Chain A
Amino acid sequence: MTERLFEGADWDFHTLQRITDACEEVALKDLGLDVYPNQIEVITAEQMLDAYSSVGMPLFYKHWSFGKHFAFHEASYRKGLMGLAYEIVINSSPCISYLMEENTATMQTLVIAHAAFGHNHFFKNNYLFKQWTDADGILDYLDFAKNYVATCEERYGRVEVERTLDAAHALMSHGIDRYPGKKKLDLRAEEKRAGRRRQHEEEVFNDLWRTVPKGTAKSRSALSIERRRKLLGLPQENLLYFLEKSAPRLAPWQRELLRIVRHIAQYFYPQSQTKVMNEGTATYVHYRIMTQLHQQGRITDGNFLEFLGSHTNVVFQPEFDDPRFSGFNPYALGFAVMQDIERIVTRPEDEDCEWFPDIAGKNDVMGVLRDVWANYRDESFIAQFLSPKLMRHFRMFHLHDDPEERAGIRVDAIHDERGFRRVRRELARQHDVGYIDANIEVVDVDLSGDRRLILHHHVIKGSQLNETDAKRVLQHLADLWTYDVALIEVDANDKVLREYVVSPRPIPAAVA
């Protein structure tokens, strides 16, 4: 009989090492996972709260909104409204997992299996992360960002920096390139380039250039609208990118700040698109590893029961009329689908063969799953792999709420033959970030005229912007653009539904 990893609930650093080695053996040999090197750090509850409030990153620039989140988390934690996450894991190489010291030995095992192997494998292999994030460079880049912001504060004053960052944060969710095509993010090179750019600007600055007489300006109005748009790269949905490149009166350091916020938003973009998959993967992996360790006799029955208790809580899915319900639990949904894939691959029924001819009865569970983990995001994952059996299991149904409809909310489809595909399509759509976020883009700017920036919001299903918030965000946008900004909400037929125009607030003192 194999030696136990630990007895009871206590652990020390040797135990952690043994646990990690045992998990690693299962993860690499039995599951065939491919992970970044691991770094496991044990922290206190207070440090966990710290980490929470700066979006889980170990180093981040200073900003009041992180303090706000800290205060908020702390208050609800102290009141017992919120438990702390057992773990935080960072998409970097080495992959850093934070473990809380309060966890029992069983929980530490669960967390290591979950984060250090499950999430880690997903980060390293999923195509979105490969495309958009740079695990080697992120920590250095964050360090650079932190120092850069601090330097700016010293040079230009905290208030000025805060004003720019506030504006950038407001636009953060619209600072993302949604479609690949540009080259992969290389944050290390990015950081070097920032330094060089600044140096270059300082070296070549010569005030005399202002005095050189310009030739007769080409009549700008002669530029056709099409050409003008093309020159500005319009339409552009990445608002931060557009401002960074085209806002006429931003200081170089302000452009750099926008760039930093944009890069960080981009870094997190894959995470928002793969919540179900990422948590599902980690949960599936920890479940397999824990079961394996138990079967090998390396953890006791008691410890395994403790694990099952936590695991069940994590994958609990309340029903829609349960007061605890707040949408689909990504852990529950992701884990269920992956377990279901395992079932389809090993013991398919007729229905499964009809729905999943490619994988049914293929018998290579890990091969199929690794392929799924690498090549899908939430939306396509659900669209592809949510089986009729699972829809019946969750008793899913699709509601359509049209405010015009007097009779109430219509049940559009339920978990029956007629409804499966519709329910699945609808659920997939709800996990499509591109569909959830408002579709806003810069369409034009009149550079020869009043320089007004024109944005369009393409309204889907009559869902317009929240007015108060929209005005505030536009105010930030106008402050950066330094001329009027107009946002026009148009429906699918280009009919104008609402129009906002916001003028910039005067800047107290221009800082070059």
Chain B
Amino acid sequence: MPTHIIDRRLNPGGKSLENRQRFLRRAKSLVQGAVKKTSQERDIKDVLEGGEVTIPLDGMHEPRFRREGGTRDMVLPGNKKFIEGDYLQRSGQGSAKDSGPGEGDSEDAFRFVLSRDEFVDLFLDDLELPDLAKRKIAQTESEGIQRAGYTTSGSPANISVSRTVQLALARRIALRRPRKSEIEELEAEIAACTDEDVRIELLEKLAKLKAKSKRIPFIDPLDIRYRRYEKVPRPVAQAVMFCLMDVSGSMSEHMKDLAKRFYMLLYVFLKRRYKHVEIVFIRHTDRAEEVDEQTFFYGPASGGTLVSSALQAMHEIVRERFNPSDWNIYAAQASDGDNSYSDGELTGMLLTDKILPVCQFFAYLEVGESGGSAFDLSDSSLWSLYDRLRNSGAPLSMRKVSERSEIFPVFHDLFQRRETTQEKAAP
């Protein structure tokens, strides 16, 4: 009996991928909740790593009719001392209760590992940059592939069987290739034939047909067609995000930590969602500077506070590099809300006249000390200023944060997908 031994290792794995996606889709709300919970407990850098989440088993439970309770009989191995008629205590050591059937019930949660991509996707799923409306087809990128008819050359993987067979059939008909049944018919006729002359004639005809079917192949290289694919350029919307961070002396380590976490999250989010997003990092004390990512997140700095300096810097950068008619412009600012008194008016002016008109969306994050009760007592000077602006209809969102664990919900809040955009920036 021949045994076939087959190497399947090169077969594509991930057969379960589709089922897994179905499962995630179905468990989406549960998994999303779990992801958010997990990400609060984790360092933001680790968020990118994906990892294990636990969802309540109940939500994904597949019910069956199960019996439980009643009197139970069981046969067990390993009797060392019991004799017939003994009684065992129900609880405690030596009881068979905990080893009986129905152990599966104790499982209360379902754990599994999400890949990095799945994790971040689920985390960012319902977020988006608000008002990505001014779509400018400024940059194009050839990344799409679409079907574009058939071609006579290509890779074997792309052979179009149906088209090939169709052509082969057409050619065979056109060239009158004898069909198998015709030959068989003729052969039968010959076998049944008694008249010698007719027989010779028939034999000749048969030879001709056979020769013809040899000359005209069933499938000719001519017939083969490949599916053709074409790359199509796809327009991409471009956007720039300004990250403005206060690093002045009044910002404690805790506050800076909150701000940095917020930006890191923002960074992950942007990188993930939009291919063409420029990110500009500006940090300021009483004077602002544009810095690279590394300095922004890790460089030390200290000094007084002039919020207007950062806004001024942003304004200049916009003027130089990001024409508002070509770019969707966003800004996120983090500060403890402390600004020097004299700067308030200038800040307000810069915002109303220069910044907000060109911005699709401006997010303001006010960071406070841990505990943060005093934080709520009176609004900071910046907060009142921004509040005033918002009430007058500027595309501005603002939130206060004082604990690490609040970062995620606040971030979510700020970038929640909106049904309709409320206030539009002036063009």
Binding site for B on A (CB under 8 A): 13, 16-17, 20-21, 24, 35, 37-44, 46-47, 49-51, 53-54, 62-68, 70-72, 74-75, 78, 94, 98, 101, 116, 162, 166, 169-170, 172-174, 317-322, 325-328, 394-403, 407-416, 418-419, 423, 426-427, 429-430, 437-438, 440, 457, 459-466, 468-470, 472-473, 476
Can you spell out 17 A-B residue pairs with CB atoms less than 8 angstroms apart? A13-B5, A38-B3, A40-B6, A42-B7, A53-B16, A62-B22, A63-B19, A68-B23, A71-B113, A75-B112, A319-B76, A321-B99, A326-B103, A412-B73, A460-B70, A461-B71, A465-B65
Q: Are B3 and A39 in contact (CB under 8 A)?
A: yes
Q: Is the interface of A mostly helix, strand, loop or mixed?
A: mixed
Interface presence of B9 (CB below 8 A): yes
Give chain B interface residues in 80-127, CB to chain A under 8 Å.
80, 82-90, 93-97, 99-101, 103, 110-113
Binding site for A on B (CB under 8 A): 1-9, 11, 13-16, 18-27, 52, 60-80, 82-90, 93-97, 99-101, 103, 110-113
Q: Which of B9, B24, B100, B110 contacts A67 (CB 8 A)?
A: B24
**Considering the complex of A and B, which 9 residue pairs feature the smallest CB-CB distances, nearest first?**
A319-B78, A67-B23, A463-B70, A462-B70, A67-B19, A472-B63, A71-B112, A320-B76, A64-B22
Q: Are B73 and A400 in contact (CB under 8 A)?
A: yes
Q: Are A320 and B71 in contact (CB under 8 A)?
A: no
User: Which residues of chain A have C-beta atoms less than 8 A from B71's C-beta?
Assistant: 400-403, 461-463
Q: Are B112 and A42 in contact (CB under 8 A)?
A: no
Question: Which of A35, A51, A68, A463 has the largest number of chain B CB atoms within 10 A?
Answer: A68
Q: Are A411 and B82 in contact (CB under 8 A)?
A: yes
User: Which residues of chain A have C-beta atoms less than 8 A from B68's C-beta?
Assistant: 463-466
User: Which residues of chain A have C-beta atoms less than 8 A from B76's C-beta?
Assistant: 319-320, 325, 396-397, 399
User: Which residues of chain B have C-beta atoms less than 8 A from A94's C-beta?
Assistant: 4
User: Which residues of chain A have C-beta atoms less than 8 A from B72's C-beta?
Assistant: 399-401, 461, 463
User: Which residues of chain A have C-beta atoms less than 8 A from B84's C-beta?
Assistant: 411-414, 416, 418-419
Q: Which of A67, A322, A327 contacts B20 (CB 8 A)?
A: A67
Q: Are B101 and A327 in contact (CB under 8 A)?
A: yes
Q: Are B22 and A63 in contact (CB under 8 A)?
A: yes
Q: Are A49 and B78 in contact (CB under 8 A)?
A: no
Q: Are A401 and B73 in contact (CB under 8 A)?
A: yes
Report the tally of A-B residue pairs with Cβ distances under 8 A.
Answer: 265
User: Which residues of chain B have C-beta atoms less than 8 A from A21's C-beta?
Assistant: 3
With known contacts A67-B16, A70-B20, A438-B65, A75–B111 Cβ distance under 8 A = yes
- Apart from A462-B70, A463-B67, list 8 A-B contacts with CB within 8 A: A38-B4, A42-B6, A42-B7, A54-B15, A62-B18, A66-B16, A408-B88, A409-B96
Q: Are A395 and B79 in contact (CB under 8 A)?
A: yes
Q: Are B22 and A20 in contact (CB under 8 A)?
A: no
State in angstroms the CA–CA spacing of A403 and B93 once bound together.
18
- B406: shortest Cβ distance to chain A, in Å? 30
User: Which residues of chain A have C-beta atoms less than 8 A from B90's C-beta?
Assistant: 408-409
Q: Are A401 and B1 in contact (CB under 8 A)?
A: no
User: Which residues of chain A have C-beta atoms less than 8 A from B15's C-beta?
Assistant: 47, 50-51, 54
Q: Which of A20, A40, A397 contacts B75 (CB 8 A)?
A: A397
User: Which residues of chain A have C-beta atoms less than 8 A from B74's C-beta?
Assistant: 398-399, 401, 426, 430
With known contacts A46-B14, A67-B16, A94-B4, A319–B77 Cβ distance under 8 A = yes
State in angstroms the CA–CA spacing of A327 and B101 once bound together.
8
Give A70's nearest chain B residue, CB to CB.
B16
- B254: shortest Cβ distance to chain A, in Å? 35
